[in-house]
Structure 1
Amino acid sequence: MELLIITGLSGSGKTVALHALEDNRCYCTDNLPLELIPALADQFKHSRYHESYNAVAVGIDSRTLSDDPQQIEDLFDKLEQSDITFRIIFLQASPHTLLQRFSETRRKHPLSTLNLSLSEAIEKEKILLKPLENRAHITIDSSQTNIHQLRDLIQQRVLDDDHSTLSILIMSFGFKHGLPLDTDFVFDVRCLPNPHWEESLRHLPGTDSLIQTFLASHEEVRLMEADITRFLQTWIPCFAKDARSYLTVAIGCTGGRHRSVYMAEKLYQTLQPQGYALQIRHRDLT
């Protein structure tokens, strides 16, 4: 029985994550006091209920934490002493996104008080949760995702994760829409020829054969593809040996529609036969 600790910033999607896990036969509970978590996990581990569920998921937010980071270390010590397998899933979003979400929902931040503004509450919560973020096995940034996309990410990165195989997400994005926060490698391909300036190609996505033919015809595109591929093929095995379970490779161009999409697709095709659990996502391709 695996214990999934779902935590992160208020407004980043912890409730959505718990619902996604619950829909996939995980026993979920929220805001359980930290000192009760080892007992819950141990009880499930030695009861008949563990056959009915894939995992136990516990939501933790800033309301269950004190200002003493040792409280979190004590929790992990107890879990390790009990031989309980656990993973920490940390959800985050940009301050701008969190402010916007609280404004739209008109919900009160858990740490908001008469003496603390929403911005200050968000910042205080980041400090409180830093020890958990530092220990996280998986970090998910929900700034650019809707509810359905976040559920898909939970499915891909938590439920479908094979711990013995390195999972790699190749993501295309546009710099003008913001840099992805939860990424390990970022490659900037804005120096490559831009199909946007070809009127007949501008409206097409980077997955279209005409865009692919246009970009493949330029030597600098082929050289950059070869260089990025060589880099990844050299260093990905080192991450796999280091017991990493997940790696995100982000490819960025200006708008995230043409060059980055093309390059992400090429890398996906090249790495696919090498035995990794590959996923591809075009963040800004609509």
Structure 2
Amino acid sequence: MNARTATLVLVSGMSGSGKSVALNTFEDLGFYCVDNLPATLLPGLVADVTGGDDGGPAKIAVGIDVRNRHDELHRVPEALAAVGALGFDPRLVFFDAGDAVLLKRYADTRRRHPLSRLTQSLPEAIALEREVLRPLRQLADAVVDTSDMNVHQLRRHVTTEFGLGSEAGMSLLFESFAYRRGVPAGADFVFDARALPNPHWIPSLRPLSGRDAAVSDYLLDQPDVEEFFLQVRGFLDTWLPRLQADSTRSYATIAFGCSGGRHRSVFLAERMASHARASGWQEVAVHHRELD
């Protein structure tokens, strides 16, 4: 497997810093994902999933953190070297947050810290975890401080910084949102779907989203929706290739908004992403701000 196209992202960091959100985002971006893998099993996993006739996935993301046996964490550099010999370009991304932020997140979710014991307070568990993971943080290729990020901002950061850059050229992120919560920061193109028929006013469709077949079928039957889609598709088919040719950017964000961000905008983002993939764009991601 060619190292230029084979990618391994090792996801590590403090409990409560957003590692699970990051790993789920990598999965949405087409990575083969495994969480809480013993470090010593990493080379075997990579060899196994890439050993089929088709070569297996070219993008793998693996979560390794304090849930590992602590003596195994010291063998991460050795495991990464072994993975490199298999043709992958391993990258360690460490997610972190301030102690006060981690304490608040645990208080809000009421989850138990993996190192907490009956005789150990939460601040003590966080301090111990930080000490245990210090070697991994020092080894990291990138450290992401999520202290001031919400879930949506973290997903966007992972998508744009780690998930979309490729030698295939500019990559696309299709995003849905609700106008009542504001337009997503950083969107390159924004399309307003509020003039289209709204499934919200149909009782059977209201609790569903644009991902559901019943909502899709309803919107596909609406002439205005089809006209909107075809016009936007024509615009993007014309100008996205020119944007790619005339700039050095690695990604572009195309956002669709409606009143609640559940039906019309979600449907359009999903449908346009499917069209982009069918048109040959190799890196396409979808993010539904009000659903994800």
Question: How far apart are 1:163 and its partner, in Å?
Answer: 8.0
Matched letter for residue 45 of structure 1: T
SS in structure 1 at match of 2:8: strand
Tell me what 1:134 maps to: 138
Structure 2: how far apart are the matches of 1:163 and 1:8? 28
SS in structure 1 at match of 2:43: helix
SS in structure 2 at match of 1:62: coil
Matching of residue 149 in structure 1 with residue 153 in structure 2? yes
Tell me what 1:253 maps to: none
Cα pair 1:90 1:140 within 8 Å, conserved: yes
Tell me what 2:241 maps to: none
Tell me what 2:117 maps to: 113
1:256-284 per-residue CA deviation (whole Å, 9 max, x = no partner) reads xxxxxxxxxxxxxxxxx9957699xxxxx
Aligned length: 171
Tell me what 1:33 maps to: 38
Tell me what 1:9 maps to: 14
Structure 2: how far apart are the matches of 1:274 and 1:24? 23
Cα pair 1:65 1:128 within 8 Å, conserved: no
Question: How far apart are 1:130 and its partner, in Å?
Answer: 1.3
Structure 2: gaps of 5 or more residues: 1-5, 170-245, 253-292
Structure 1: how far apart are the matches of 2:149 and 2:114? 22
1:47 to 30, 49, 52: 52
SS in structure 1 at match of 2:147: coil
Structure 2: how far apart are the matches of 1:163 and 1:100? 40
Structure 2: how far apart are the matches of 1:84 and 1:76? 9
SS in structure 1 at match of 2:16: coil
TM-score by structure 2 length? 0.53
Tell me what 2:90 maps to: 86
Residue correspondence of structure 1 range 41-80 to structure 2 within 5 A? 41-48=46-53, 50=55, 53-67=57-71, 70-80=74-84
Structure 2: how far apart are the matches of 1:11 and 1:104? 11
Structure 1: how far apart are the matches of 2:54 and 2:103? 40
Tell me what 1:23 maps to: 28
Cα pair 1:21 1:57 within 8 Å, conserved: yes
Question: How far apart are 1:68 and its partner, in Å?
Answer: 6.6
Matched letter for residue 121 of structure 1: A
Cα pair 1:27 1:56 within 8 Å, conserved: yes
Question: How far apart are 1:114 and its partner, in Å?
Answer: 1.7
Structure 2: how far apart are the matches of 1:49 and 1:30? 24
Could you say if the C-alpha distance between residues 65 and 49 of structure 1 is closer, same or farther in structure 2, counting changes exceeding 3 Å?
farther
Percent identity, aligned pairs only, is 35
Cα RMSD over matched residues?
A: 2.6
Question: How far apart are 1:77 and its partner, in Å?
Answer: 3.1
1:204-251 per-residue CA deviation (whole Å, 9 max, x = no partner) reads xxxxxxxxxxxxxxxxxxxxxxxxxxxxxxxxxxxxxxxxxxxxxxxx
Residue correspondence of structure 1 range 250-261 to structure 2 within 5 A? none
Question: How far apart are 1:139 and its partner, in Å?
Answer: 1.4
Structure 1: how far apart are the matches of 2:251 and 2:27? 25
Matched letter for residue 150 of structure 2: N
Residue correspondence of structure 1 range 210-249 to structure 2 within 5 A? none
Cα pair 1:28 1:58 within 8 Å, conserved: yes
1:121-142 per-residue CA deviation (whole Å, 9 max, x = no partner) reads 1111111111111111121111
Matched letter for residue 21 of structure 2: V
1:26-45 per-residue CA deviation (whole Å, 9 max, x = no partner) reads 11111111111111112233
Cα pair 2:95 2:146 within 8 Å, conserved: yes
Cα pair 2:91 2:141 within 8 Å, conserved: yes
Structure 2: how far apart are the matches of 1:83 and 1:54? 10
Matching of residue 98 in structure 1 with residue 102 in structure 2? yes
Cα pair 1:25 1:54 within 8 Å, conserved: no
SS in structure 2 at match of 1:56: strand
